[in-house]
Amino acid sequence: MQLCVLSMSPAIAKTSEKDIVAAARRMIRALGVDALTLRDVAEAVGIRAPSLYKRFDSKSALLQAVKADVLTRFETALRQAGTGQPPALAFTRMAAAYREFGTRRPEIYRLIHRPELKAEGLEAERASLVPAFEIITALVGPAHALAAARCTTSFLHGFVSMEIDGNFQQGGSTDEAFTFSVYVILQGLVNSASA
């Protein structure tokens, strides 16, 4: 009986959700999300495009899974940068880690800020900025923490976006502008907290 069942065994899985997400992430990093096709992702893991629908409801669902995966790595990078430092140093280190994550993987950074990819990413998106929020709370106290975190993450997101999009066209040192800006915001936050 069992032998019979085994001989009638269904098709053996050639891949997994994890494999597919990893392949898609690599392809996005290399080519950008706009150039990603399901036929290519499928080929990279040794199956055909229709089979992807056994694991993900749609292309959007796959991209959401990639985004959630990346956001976990992002959160880890931010947390490692700030732990065990005094607040002001943690702040500048976290800022530098944020920028490095984005500039090293511009296409991945763009992916995690695609507004249409929200469902799975919403909680991961919030969680990814928790390390930054904790550092800023230590810096300015709980009363201004939320506004200060929004100030800081807005600046970091805007700077990295403009840098990877090539929107700093006026010459000058981008590194210098970043260092100056982080200093300006840090000073402004500390002053506002004591005011």
Partner DNA sequence: ACCTGAACACCGTTCAAGT
What's 12-55 look like in SS3?
CCCCCHHHHHHHHHHHHHHHCHHHCCHHHHHHHCCCCHHHHCCC
How many residues of this chain interact with a second copy, rule: CB under 8 A? 46
Cα gap 10→76, rounded to integer Å: 39
Residue 76 binding partner per list a second copy, DNA, none, with a CB distance cut-off of 5 to 8 Å that depends on partner kind: none
Q: Which of residues 146-185 bind a second copy (CB under 8 A)?
A: 146-148, 150-151, 153-159, 161-162, 164-170, 172, 174, 176-177, 180-181, 183-185
For the bound state, the minimum distance from the C-beta of residue 164 to DNA, rounded and expressed in Å, comes to 23
Residue 85 binding partner per list a second copy, DNA, none, with a CB distance cut-off of 5 to 8 Å that depends on partner kind: none
Cα gap 153→78, rounded to integer Å: 12
Among 26, 79, 93, 113, binds a second copy (CB under 8 A): 113
Q: Which of residues 30-49 bind a second copy (CB under 8 A)?
A: 34
DSSP state of 58: S
For the bound state, the minimum distance from the C-beta of residue 99 to a second copy, rounded and expressed in Å, comes to 11
Give burial (CB, 10 Å; 0-12/13-18/19+) of 142. Answer: exposed
Give burial (CB, 10 Å; 0-12/13-18/19+) of 58. Answer: exposed
Write out the residues near a second copy by the rule CB under 8 A: 34, 110, 113, 115-116, 118, 122, 125-126, 144, 146-148, 150-151, 153-159, 161-162, 164-170, 172, 174, 176-177, 180-181, 183-189, 191-192
